[in-house]
C-alpha cells in the first residue's frame, strides 16, 4: 500500500484537526496543486477509514486523474506532495499551540530582516513574559539565555553600552540551564542503571552542587527536587529521604511543565515499586499515594487513555492497602479509559481481585469463572484462582481436591504455553510445586512451624519463584490466628 507515511501523519490528527487540514490544503502558501485538494476531499469521504481509501490504488488514481490510464509514478508523486503539505500543517499547528516557539521564530525573522528596533522590543517583551511566567526550570533558563545571547551578539547591539547586569544574567542563565539539564539527565541515567544494568560515570554532578550555578539555584524548588531525586540512587541515602522527596514534589508539581512532572513522578513510582518487589510492604501506602497524585495531575493516562497494566496495578495496590471504597470507585470511573481490546478482561480481573482481597472468595471465583479471559490474562487469572482456593483450604480442608486439580491443570497449561518465556514458566512452576508440597503437609496435619520453616528455607535458595512472600505471609497469619 502506498502512502504509509501519509497514513501515520493523518492518524496523528484528531478529527477536528483533520477537518482543519482543509484550510491547509486550500491555502496557497502551503499548496497550489488542485489535485492535492482533490486527494484530501477523497480521503475525507472515507474518514476515518483511511486505510481502505489508500489500499484501492486503482480507484484512488481514477478519482484523482479521471480518464487517464493508471500511472504508479504520478500517484506516488501526488501522495508525496500531499505528505509534505500535511507535515507543514503539523508544523504550523505546533507554532500555533506554543507561544514560545512563535515568539522565537518572530524574533529570528525580525533579526534576519534587519528590523533591529522591532527585534529588540520583541526580545525584551520575551524576557518580561518569561519573568511573569510560572516556571523556573531548564526550559526557562534555556530560553532566557538564548534571548540574552542573541541580543548581545547581534551585529547592531552596541556592546559597550550593554549593562554588566545583563551579562551576569546571561552567564547565570547559561550555568543554570546546564546545571538543571545535567541533573535531569543524571537521574534518568541512574534509573537506566537499575533497569538495564548499565553503568554511567557522572563526575560533574558532585561538582555542580558547589558550583556558581548550584549556589545561584539554591532556592529553586525544581532544582532541589532533581537534586534530591539523584540522592535517591545513592547507597548512603538518608532515612526517610523518599518521603521527604515525595513531599517536596507535591509542593511544586503544580508549577512544573508536564515533561518534568512525568519524569519526576515516574522515577518516584519506579523506586516505590522496586521497594515493594524487595518485600518492603510499607511502600504499598507510598505507592498508592503516588498513584493518587498521578491521577490528580493526569500523569497516568494519555489524553484519557490508560494502559491495562497501570489500571490493574492501581487496583492491586488499592486492595493491598485496604482502601476498598476508593478502589471500587476507581475501577468504575476509569474503566472506559482502558483500551477496548482488553477492557472487559481488565474489569473482570480487577473485580475478582477486589473481592479476593475482601475475602469474598466465592464472588471472586465467580468473576473468574463466568468470564472467558483472553490469553494475555490467563497466567495471572490462574494464579489468582489458586490463591483463592489455597486461602479457602487453610480454613476448610475440603478444598484440598479442588486445589490439587487447579495446580495440576496450571502445570499442564505452563507446559503447552509456548508464548511464555522459560524464566516465567520456571518461576510459576516452582511456585505451584511449593504450593502443592505445603498443601499436602497441611492436609497431613504436620506442625505449622515446620511447614513455615520449609517455605522460608525455599525462599532462602532464591530460586525463581512467584508469590513466595505471599505464601510465607499467609502461613504466618494462619499460625497467629
Q: Can you give the residue ranges of every domain in the chain?
A: 4-97, 374-481
Which residues, 6 or more positions from 111, have their beta carbon under 8 angstroms from its beta carbon? 119, 150, 154
CA-wise closest residue to 19 among 52, 55, 45, 53: 45
Report in angstroms the alpha-carbon separations of 401 from 123, 386, 408, 474: 79, 12, 11, 20
Q: How far apart are CA 415 and CA 435, in angstroms?
A: 18
Residue 19: alpha-carbon gap to chain centroid: 29
The pLDDT tens digits along the chain (481 residues) read 578 999 999 999 999 999 999 999 999 999 999 999 999 999 999 999 999 899 999 999 999 999 999 999 999 999 999 999 999 999 999 998 888 899 999 999 999 999 999 999 999 999 999 999 989 999 999 999 999 999 999 999 999 999 999 999 999 999 899 989 998 999 999 888 888 888 888 877 777 766 766 677 878 888 888 988 888 888 778 888 888 888 888 888 988 999 999 999 999 999 999 888 877 888 999 999 999 999 999 999 998 999 999 999 999 999 999 999 999 999 999 999 999 999 999 999 999 999 999 999 999 999 999 999 999 999 999 999 999 999 999 999 999 999 999 999 999 999 999 889 999 999 999 999 999 999 999 999 999 999 999 999 999 998 899 999 899 999 998 888 6
Q: What is the pTM of this model?
A: 0.80
User: 48: cis peptide before it, omega within 30°?
Assistant: yes
pLDDT of residue 328: 98
CA-wise closest residue to 225 among 343, 310, 293, 137: 137
Helix (H, G, I), strand (E, B) or coil at 338: strand
Give me the residue label for grid cell 482502601: 323
**Contact of 199 with 193, CB cutoff 8 Å:** yes
Q: How far apart are CA 233 and CA 220, in angstroms?
A: 21
Q: How far apart are CA 432 and CA 427, in angstroms?
A: 9
Cell of residue 379, nine digits: 497466567
pLDDT of residue 131: 94
Q: How far apart are CA 424 and CA 413, in angstroms?
A: 13
pLDDT of residue 148: 97
Q: DSSP label at 217?
A: T
CA-wise closest residue to 435 among 421, 151, 423, 399: 399
Residue 50 CB neighbour total at 10 angstroms: 17
What is the helix, strand, coil percentage profile of the chain, to 5? Answer: 75, 0, 25
Would you call 14 exposed, middle or buried from its count of C-beta atoms within 10 A (0-12, 13-18, 19+)?
A: exposed
For the chain, the distance separating the N- and C-terminal CA atoms, rounded to the nearest angstrom, is 67
Q: How far apart are CA 459 and CA 172, in angstroms?
A: 55
Q: How far apart are CA 391 and CA 471, in angstroms?
A: 10
Amino acid at each position: 500500500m502506498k502512502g504509509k507515511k501519509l497514513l501515520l501523519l493523518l492518524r496523528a490528527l484528531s478529527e477536528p484537526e483533520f477537518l482543519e487540514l482543509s484550510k491547509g490544503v486550500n491555502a496557497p502558501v502551503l499548496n497550489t496543486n488542485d489535485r492535492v485538494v482533490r486527494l484530501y476531499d477523497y480521503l475525507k469521504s472515507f474518514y476515518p477509514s483511511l486505510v481502505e481509501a489508500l489500499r484501492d490504488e486503482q480507484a484512488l488514481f481514477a478519482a484523482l486523474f479521471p480518464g487517464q490510464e493508471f500511472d504508479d509514478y504520478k500517484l506516488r508523486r501526488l501522495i508525496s506532495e500531499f505528505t509534505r503539505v500535511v507535515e507543514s500543517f503539523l508544523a504550523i499547528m505546533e507554532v500555533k499551540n506554543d507561544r514560545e516557539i512563535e515568539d522565537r521564530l518572530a524574533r529570528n525573522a525580525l533579526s534576519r530582516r534587519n528590523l533591529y528596533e522591532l527585534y529588540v522590543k520583541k526580545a525584551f517583551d520575551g524576557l518580561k513574559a518569561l519573568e511573569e511566567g510560572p516556571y523556573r526550570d531548564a526550559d526557562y533558563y534555556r530560553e532566557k539565555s538564548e534571548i540574552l545571547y542573541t541580543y548581545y551578539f547581534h551585529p547592531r547591539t552596541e556592546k559597550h553600552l550593554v549593562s554588566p547586569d545583563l551579562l551576569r544574567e546571561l552567564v547565570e542563565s547559561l550555568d543554570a540551564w546546564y546545571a538543571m539539564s545535567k541533573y535531569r539527565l543524571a537521574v534518568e541515567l541512574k534509573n537506566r542503571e537499575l533497569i538495564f544494568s548499565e553503568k554511567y560515570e557522572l563526575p560533574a554532578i558532585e561538582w555542580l552542587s558547589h558550583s556558581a550555578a548550584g549556589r545561584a539555584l539554591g532556592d529553586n524548588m525544581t532544582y532541589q527536587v532533581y537534586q534530591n531525586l539523584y540522592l535517591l540512587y545513592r547507597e548512603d541515602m538518608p532515612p526517610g529521604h523518599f518521603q521527604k522527596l515525595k513531599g517536596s514534589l507535591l509542593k511544586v508539581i503544580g508549577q512544573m511543565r508536564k515533561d518534568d512532572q512525568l519524569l519526576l513522578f515516574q522515577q518516584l513510582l519506579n523506586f516505590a515499586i522496586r521497594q515493594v518487589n524487595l518485600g518492603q510492604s510499607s511502600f504499598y501506602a507510598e505507592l498508592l499515594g503516588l498513584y493518587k497524585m498521578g491521577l490528580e495531575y493526569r500523569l497516568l493516562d494519555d489524553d484519557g487513555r490508560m494502559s491495562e497494566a497501570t489500571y490493574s496495578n492501581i487496583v492491586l495496590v488499592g486492595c493491598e492497602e485496604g482502601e476498598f471504597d476508593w478502589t471500587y470507585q476507581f475501577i468504575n470511573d476509569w474503566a472506559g479509559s482502558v483500551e477496548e481490546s482488553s477492557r472487559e478482561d481488565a474489569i473482570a480481573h480487577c473485580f475478582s481481585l477486589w473481592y479476593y482481597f475482601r475475602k469474598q472468595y466465592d464472588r471472586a471465583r465467580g468473576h473468574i469463572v463466568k468470564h472467558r479471559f483472553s490469553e494475555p490474562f490467563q497466567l495471572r487469572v490462574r494464579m489468582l484462582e489458586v490463591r483463592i482456593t489455597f486461602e479457602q483450604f487453610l480454613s476448610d480442608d475440603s478444598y484440598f481436591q479442588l486445589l490439587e486439580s487447579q495446580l495440576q491443570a496450571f502445570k499442564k497449561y505452563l507446559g503447552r504455553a509456548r508464548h511464555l518465556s522459560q524464566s516465567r514458566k520456571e518461576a510459576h512452576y516452582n511456585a505451584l510445586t511449593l504450593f502443592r508440597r505445603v498443601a499436602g503437609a497441611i492436609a497431613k496435619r504436620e506442625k505449622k512451624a515446620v511447614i513455615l520453616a520449609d517455605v522460608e528455607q525455599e525462599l532462602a535458595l532464591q530460586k525463581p519463584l512467584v508469590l513466595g512472600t505471599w505464601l510465607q505471609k499467609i502461613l504466618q497469619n494462619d499460625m497467629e490466628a
